[in-house]
Structure 1
Amino acid sequence: MEAPSFLDFIIHVTGLPGYLVFSWFMILVIISLALIVRSSLKLMPEGIQNVAESVVYGIYSFVEDILGKEETPKHFPLLATLAIVIFFYNIVELIPGFIPPTSNLNTTLSMALIVFLYYQFLGFKRHGIKYIKHFMGPVWWLVPLILPIEIIGHFARIVSLSVRLFGNIFGDDLLLAVVFFLAPWLVPLPVMALVLLAASIQAFIFFLLSTLYIADAINEAH
């Protein structure tokens, strides 16, 4: 399946990777939808405003249940952005010819690095040098054993976040391409419904783990 002509033209002229062009395109779509919602705000929400408010309120309430009322406003913008962007990045695979940006490891790895650096920064900002206690275990004589395990575990979070998302979306995209090729008349509803479900779940898992990592960093070590 070929990319839409205008995106293919941009890829050809600029020489940029396809996943990057599709990433920027989907960001423009998200910004455009946000501006449309903002320009038509009503006291009694309806239509797209109702959907947007429900999504934002649902994300905010979920984050608040984990981080608390005081911390949520500080971290909600990043977490909500990740959730919404990843969801749109994932579901674009349902459009023939579109490449889901999250089917490329560069995209998922960059987002995982942002989360990793952000929560580590929060940990040191909140606790100072005492943040190291998060890596040392419950008793001092276990430090030589626990410290390397904790360090490896934290770096493994980057791999976990990026590879899980990449692998699932890449697999879904490949499945759709194969089924479209072999039996295009059978594809639409069942397969696309499963892909939509998987795309939504993967966006939620990335968002959930990011929230839990932040909560772990800002809480006191025990």
Structure 2
Amino acid sequence: MAGGLDHPVLFLEMAAKGAGMHIPNEVLFSWLAIVVLLTLGLMTTSGLKMVPGGLQNFFEFVIGGLENFIVETMGEDGRKVTPILVAIFLYILTCNFMGLIPGFDSATNSVNHNAAMALFVFIYYNYWGIRNWGPGYIKHFMGPMPALAPMMIILEFMSHLARPLSLTLRLFGNIRGEELVLILLFMLAPIVSTFPLYFLFMLADFIQAFVFFMLTLVYLKGAFEHAH
């Protein structure tokens, strides 16, 4: 293909402009990450074997390990939310890794994208809290002493409302900072001398995905626990 059409993201951008649409970069790269995960999922499940190998072995190791970790942390109730938690981890990790590919960008490099994920987490764990405890879910915000309940409700509501902001800015700040450092290194040093640092960036991307996953897990664990 000629010109920029050999680049998948540029091709999507040109197609969107041709259709009279303006699609933000974070949305395009988010779609691309979803396509990558769906493709890998279909490739893995299309030939399942009793003795796993290749992709099946890798994903069974990753997903099985995450599921065991969730159940050990939350108990058997954790199985109810395992699909969402695993999907969040794999999606963020894929988005983060895409930012390390020259010519690509990470969807998690956008405040809007991260805010959308953080709001989903906020709605999701409160949904489970209300589903499990009904009106009694308000007890989670009242603290351990009835005399302090009026003050604790205000503090707890503020604390919960700050969670989406914290999730958004933590992920955005770390990914944006990483990409700026990567750009500076490519400008100041040859690609060959910069390449070994990719391992450190990949480790940082993994940690950021795991931190988002862990915080979501902690919020869900609190929603499932009985108020004391």
Tell me if both proteins adopt one fold, taking TM over 0.5 as the criterion. Answer: yes
Distance 2:194 2:145 in 1: 57
Identity of aligned residues (%): 39
Partner of 1:20: 27
Distance 1:118 1:26 in 2: 22
Instruction: Flag structure 2 segments of 5+ consecutive residues without an equivalent.
Output: 17-21
Q: How does 1:105-120 map to 2 (within 5 A)?
A: 105-120=111-126
Distance 1:167 1:82 in 2: 18
Q: How does 1:62-81 map to 2 (within 5 A)?
A: 62-69=69-76, 71-81=77-87
Preserved contact between residue 4 and residue 98 of structure 1 (Cα < 8 Å)? no
Preserved contact between residue 109 and residue 158 of structure 1 (Cα < 8 Å)? yes
Partner of 2:211: 205
Distance 1:131 1:35 in 2: 39
Q: How does 1:1-222 map to 2 (within 5 A)?
A: 5-14=7-16, 15-69=22-76, 71-185=77-191, 186-189=193-196, 191-222=197-228
Moved more, 142-151 or 78-87: 142-151
- Which secondary structure state, in structure 2, belongs to the residue aligned with residue 97 of structure 1? coil
Instruction: Flag structure 1 segments of 5+ consecutive residues without an equivalent.
Output: none
Distance 1:4 1:20 in 2: 20
- Which secondary structure state, in structure 1, belongs to the residue aligned with residue 105 of structure 2? coil
Preserved contact between residue 3 and residue 97 of structure 1 (Cα < 8 Å)? no
Preserved contact between residue 3 and residue 98 of structure 1 (Cα < 8 Å)? no
Preserved contact between residue 86 and residue 102 of structure 1 (Cα < 8 Å)? yes
**Aligned-CA RMSD value:** 1.5
Runs of 4+ off more than 6 Å: none
TM-score (ref. length: structure 2): 0.92
- Which secondary structure state, in structure 1, belongs to the residue aligned with residue 226 of structure 2? coil
Aligned length: 219
Preserved contact between residue 5 and residue 11 of structure 2 (Cα < 8 Å)? no
